[in-house]
Amino acid sequence: MIMEKLEMRMLIICSLLIVAVASVSYTQPASEKVNVSFVTQDDKATVHIYRSKNIYGSALEKSVFLDGVEIARIDSGRFITLKLDAGKHRVHMADEKLGLEVEMKGGQEYYFRLKLVQGWFGAHGRLVAVDNEKGAKEMKKLKPVNADKIKDDSKVVTHP
């Protein structure tokens, strides 16, 4: 009985403390206020890299690099979409010298088609910039790259 009364008093005291603390308000002085800015998706450039479905070289998976880092291996009939910070970026295949350096703007879309070119020792990939209307039309027929082909997913947009 004594324990029940003690428990009841503790419960009442705790309840009063919670109510008292919850009713205290704090406003930050104007001198301490901090400006907060958020990065929205409109601040990012959207980059689509795709490879048309074609019998020629269909067994080959070609690596695509962004700023020297391998992003994914793209096979025939697949695409990948990236969200990048605005600024200069280099999109290339294995041979960085054959890549494209593009000044990308936030809120803009960019399309690159992976084209296979026959060389002395087999086919190699080359990226070609494509206008947005043509790129969007060509990509409608394609599927996203499989997750196991993505090497660095930090900039990759996932597709349902």
Domain segments of the chain as ranges: 43-157
Worst-scoring range by mean pLDDT, 49-58, 82-91, 96-105, 132-141? 49-58
DSSP state of 55: S
* Confidence (pTM): 0.68
In whole angstroms, what separates CA 11 from the centre of its chain? 50
**DSSP SS3 for 160:** coil
DSSP state of 96: G
* Contact indicator for 100, 129 with CB cutoff of 8 Å: yes
Which amino acid belongs to residue 149?
Answer: K
Percentage of the chain beyond pLDDT 90 is 32
Worst-scoring range by mean pLDDT, 22-26, 34-38, 73-77, 123-127? 34-38
In whole angstroms, what separates CA 51 from the centre of its chain? 19
Is the CATH number 1.10.10 carried by domain 43-157? no
pLDDT at 30 over 60: no
